[in-house]
Structure 1
Amino acid sequence: MATLNPGARVLVLDDDGEDAEAAAGALLDADFAAVPLSENADGLDVDAFLAHVCRGFDALVCDHVLSGARRFGFTGAELVSRANQRPGRPLPAVLLTSHRGTDQTGSISRWLSGIPAVVDKPDLTDGIVPALDYTVRELRGDFSEERRCFLTPIEVLEVFTTNEVKRARVVVVGWHMQKSVWMPLEPALAATGLKAGELEGRWLEAKVNCNAKRPDDLYYRDITIAPDLPEDWFTS
């Protein structure tokens, strides 16, 4: 059973009409009031959108790629992340996407720290209510094993800044010491104050959900430059 009260107002934002209807139907079947976006969002940044358009709603369901007639200055991933992490009164928000495993994955991973649940479009009808349920629980501090994070060293192997989504190839020690993964670059730069080229070969520390099954599900919080490691660290 979902942890939102019956009748809760859920804003549905999806430029694909069929997907919007499927999401609304699943929410209606769970006794929620599904409300499609009706206001003009042109020119609003993400904070203004949350303050103006989302007021009066109890939750949000949003597609990642926002296109169509309305012009958005943000992705669905940023909106969902900021909604869940809004100071004072978080707005439980679930991300919908048909872009897992594509180049769009990188634009989602930057915001995963604030996205408790991502629903793949093929699983929309059955997945949306459980995802909303879990999101509410995580916002109350009840993290699943795969979303619980702890401090771990991170070795930065390479930095790539030429693509639209800037990223770094890293080894997250707490996840797997022999496998490299892609880490979003911009949060690391903002947290450390370093330039992209200065990160290569450096060690960082961050809180990471190291029990995640897939590298695309890893998120990073509280990123810092790691203290120097003891010379015998790998052999002790």
Structure 2
Amino acid sequence: MLVADDDPRDARSVADPLEDAGYRTTILTSFDPYQDADAFLASLLGKYDALVCDHILSGRSRVRFTGAELVSKANLHADNPLPAVLISSHANTDQKGAIHRWREGIPKVVDKSDFSDVVVEAIDFTLAELSGKFARERRTFATPIEVLDVVPGGEVPQARVIVVGWRIATSVWMPLDPIVSATRLQPDELRGRWLEADVNCHAKDAADLYYRNITLAPDLPEGWLEA
């Protein structure tokens, strides 16, 4: 198993409980600044059986990708998925938007303050999902989504939306780029529009939601929400 973290002490604190659980680990703390996530992932495939990766890898060196992007692409790799777990001390900070962008391919995010057995449990959770055994909070079903507002600037462009199948009275932030890519509408054209998507509406927290198969919804009858 590869443990990727630019901080050697943090990498060691992840590797220790994994080794106690019977895994053989390799620690990687430096990265090629010219490699993107796809190239780096290609260099791992066939060499490791699993990956545990920190979200922010650029603290001590230049890196062109985040751990969230790498972990998501590893788990969703079409031909040869590499089971991967994300660790982060940013899960409850402004950086969570960067994690949310890739949440579909991240079954579990482990808080960096609590490795112990949690990281081993996260690996088991990920392996189960990659084998087709989705936990209830990760299963998706189709639901309408109302776009209330968009914020196209910032590190991670976002849209404020109502996910009807999750909590109809609570707005949440979701990544904007997948909406723009799926609908081919400009951000300013999205306010007030309705979408349809497959969403894991049994998730407990908004940060755990992910969105698949986003499409523009047909016009809804007037007064539909009050019916």
TM-score per shorter chain, which class?
over 0.9
Q: What amino acid sits opposite 1:172 in the alignment?
A: V
Indicate conservation of the 8 Å contact 2:85/2:106, yes or no.
Answer: yes
Residue aligning to 2:155: 164
SS in 2 for 1:96: strand
Partner SS state of residue 185, structure 2? coil
Q: Answer whether contact 2:108 2:122 (CA < 8 A) is retained.
A: yes
Q: Which residue of 2 aligns with 1:7?
A: none
Match of 2:176 in 1: 185
What letter corresponds to residue 33 of structure 2 in structure 1? D
Higher mean alpha-carbon deviation, 66-75 vs 137-146, is at 66-75
Deviation beyond 6 Å, 4+ runs, structure 1? none
1:4 maps to: none
Counterpart Cα distance in 1 of 2:226 and 2:89: 44
Matches within 5 A, 1:32-111: 32-37=23-28, 40-111=31-102
Quickly say closer, same or farther: Cα 1:68–1:196, change in 2 above 3 A: same
TM-score by length of 2: 0.95
The sequence identity of aligned pairs, in percent, is: 56
SS across alignment from 2:99: helix
Unmatched segments (≥5 aa) in structure 2: none
1:222 counterpart residue number: 213
In the alignment, the residues of structure 2 paired with residue 143 and residue 40 of structure 1 have an alpha-carbon distance, to the nearest angstrom, of 32
Q: Shift in Å at residue 54 of structure 1?
A: 4.3
The residue that corresponds to 1:125 in the other structure is 116
RMSD: 1.4
Specify the code of the residue in structure 1 equivalent to 2:114. D
1:69 deviates by 4.4
Deviation at 1:71, TM superposition (A): 2.5
What number of residue pairs does the alignment pair up?
227
